[in-house]
Structure 1
Amino acid sequence: MKSRILPHIIVEGSAQYTLGDFDGSSVIYDFDKILIYLQAKGKLLFGKNFKIYEADREILFKLCNYFIKDEANCKKLNIDPNKGILLSGPVGCGKTSLMKLLRHIVPHQKPYKIIPTRNIAFGFNHIGYKTIEDYGDSQYFCFDDLGVEPMGRYYGKDCNVMGEILLSRYEFFLQTKMKTHVTTNLNAAELEERYGNRVRSRMRQTFNLISFDAKSVDKRC
């Protein structure tokens, strides 16, 4: 008979990682054990040079508690597990890698697709407003590098494509509680300048802001 894998255990090839203890109904996660798994999974996803930086421990603690839905810690950290994540920080600090990586600690949850915003804007230039409909719907997305995408243009008309999509996602969030995640290099003031006060106001209602230190090193160097 095939053995049942328990919810606190993740198997990667021949290796097995225990993320905490299982009491029969819920998992009591151990943050240090999660970090061991993330280090190993990161090397599998991104190559042997990947590593978890001690300087990122605070950010990782927030993100891990969000993804595992630890209500007590989320409350202490002022994180609402019912909202999405807006992960901001300087170029190369590891935002995209973490969003690709962290979804693996909760394989029982619905996975989100990570979509570069530049690709969305280019898609709009080819097929128009259907792009906004496609990304404003019921799928689970992480929009990567918000703010680097160019203005959309279709049949001679300009459109702030991601601004429109974020407004659509906000309305969908109110109706269904479907979350959206975002990574960005922009700060709050820059986001408001790029997308307007209306979008920025709605982003406050739909995202938890988690930020890397502005002096975070470029890990791609």
Structure 2
Amino acid sequence: MNTTLSYPEIIAWLEKKGVELYGKKFKILETDHEIIYKLIAYFLKDEQACYQFNIDLEKGILLTGPIGCGKTSLMNLMKFLTATEHKFFVKPCRDISFEFIQDGYQIIHKYSNGKLYQSEPRSYCFDDLGTENNLKYFGNECNVMAEILLSRYDLFISKKLFTHITTNLSATEIEKHYGNRVRSRLRELCNLIAFDNVAKDKRK
């Protein structure tokens, strides 16, 4: 691990930021430190630590874990550690599905290739993958997130575009929801960082 970085100090700083964002009850539990060390190493591009954690800095992050374990809040906090050139936007998958109902197939383009007048596609963290449903637009059913992820995989190969994801789905459930092609591409697209299945629901 990079000795110039004090991971306990960074965690303390992130906890303060968490209190600012989420209120006085926000706390980083010691049981989550291993997960958070991995995220810090990745977003601060600590090559030595990433090598130890078997994290590939050329891929995105797939953060999995039970409902309420803190995936979304952690990814929002990681934005404060991310260098400008690697900035990403957190976008709930349910919001994307509502946009699709309203605006149709251009939404798939928006979250893959970018808006028509936007020169470069953006890095996103698609939050809570699996909470959206297959949707119909003018009678045609579409698995919106599957299409977006397949498009972003192509951009990852051609332009090294980063995609981050949070989900409480297992690998088997991802395959069931989105198909084998998406599951296969996610292995190439993202590093898997997983909370324990019995991780505490912090919303309780």
TM category (shorter chain) comes to over 0.9
Residue 130 in 1 paired to residue 106 in 2? yes
Higher relative contact order structure (alpha carbons within 8 Å, sequence separation ≥ 6)? 2
CA contact 1:34–1:105 (8 Å) conserved in 2: no
Give the C-alpha shift of residue 219 in structure 1. Answer: 0.2
- For residue 179 of structure 2, what is the amino acid of its counterpart? G
Aligned counterparts of 1:147 and 1:106: Cα–Cα separation in 2: 26
Say which SS state the counterpart of residue 48 (structure 1) adopts: coil
Question: TM-score of the superposition, structure 2-length normalised?
Answer: 0.93
Residues 13-162 of structure 1: matches in 2 within 5 Å? 28-137=4-113, 138-162=121-145
Residue 220 in 1 paired to residue 191 in 2? no
- Identity, in percent, stands at 50
Give the C-alpha shift of residue 107 in structure 1. Answer: 4.9
Aligned counterparts of 2:86 and 2:48: Cα–Cα separation in 1: 22
Residue 201 in 1 paired to residue 193 in 2? no
Say which SS state the counterpart of residue 80 (structure 2) adopts: helix
Task: After superposition, give the CA deviation of every residue in 1:35-57 in whole Å (9 maximum; x if it has no partner).
Answer: 11011111111111111100101
Aligned counterparts of 2:64 and 2:47: Cα–Cα separation in 1: 23
Greater strand share, 1 or 2? 1
Aligned counterparts of 1:50 and 1:33: Cα–Cα separation in 2: 17
Question: TM-score of the superposition, structure 1-length normalised?
Answer: 0.86
Give the C-alpha shift of residue 125 in structure 1. Answer: 1.3
Give the C-alpha shift of residue 152 in structure 1. Answer: 1.7
Aligned residues: 196
1:210 to 178, 193, 197: 193
Which residue in the other structure is 2:116 paired with? none
Give the C-alpha shift of residue 72 in structure 1. Answer: 1.3
Give the 4+ runs in structure 1 shifted more than 6 A: none
Based on CA coordinates, which of the two structures has the bigger radius of gyration?
Answer: 1
- For residue 125 of structure 2, what is the amino acid of its counterpart? C
Task: After superposition, give the CA deviation of every residue in 1:3-55 in whole Å (9 maximum; x if it has no partner).
Answer: xxxxxxxxxxxxxxxxx98xxxxxx2110110110111111111111111001
Aligned counterparts of 1:126 and 1:102: Cα–Cα separation in 2: 31
Give the C-alpha shift of residue 123 in structure 1. Answer: 1.0
